[in-house]
Amino acid sequence: MSQLPACPECGSEYTYEDRGLYVCPECAHEWSAVGGDAVAEEGAAKVWRDAHGNILEDGDTVTVIKDLKIKGSSQVVKVGTRVKNIRLVDGDHDIDCKIPGIGAMGLKSEFVKKG
């Protein structure tokens, strides 16, 4: 049986490997089994990109590149709609914003372009 590394968070020796990750059953910490260490992965900041690969930042202005139906409503966000002062968040929808004439909503970064 091979030796697995101890958990870098709590020091537990009961770690196990699952789909290329090491997992600690005591504190539920997961880290990569292939190259790098947990500290390097945690320090890396998430980067959001628009449909054309440009990096998005909080406060940017973006343009919608596709008509987007609003779930539970008969309204549509039309292609070409400019959205100012976006806020980037983690989750299913990357962008929190206020769309003129519609209100606050979440958008996916794959349906907008910067500028």
Each residue's pLDDT tens digit, 82-93: 999 999 998 888
> How wide is the angle at C-alpha 86 spanned by C-alphas 81 and 87, nearest 5°?
150
For residue 66, the model assigns a pLDDT of 93
CA distance 90 to 112: 16
For residue 35, the model assigns a pLDDT of 54
pTM for the model stands at 0.60
For residue 40, the model assigns a pLDDT of 43
Query: And the tokens for 43?
Result: 């320090």
Helix H, strand E, coil C: the string for 31-75 is EECCCCCHHHHHHCCCCEECCCCCEECCCCCEEECCCEECCCCCC
Task: Flag residues of the chain having pLDDT under 70.
Answer: 1-2, 33-44
Q: Taking phi first (over 0 means left), then psi (-120 to 50 degrees means alpha), and beta for anything else, what does residue 26 get?
A: alpha
Produce one character per residue of 76-91: b if its CB has 16 or more CB atoms within 10 Å, e if not: ebeeebebeebebeee
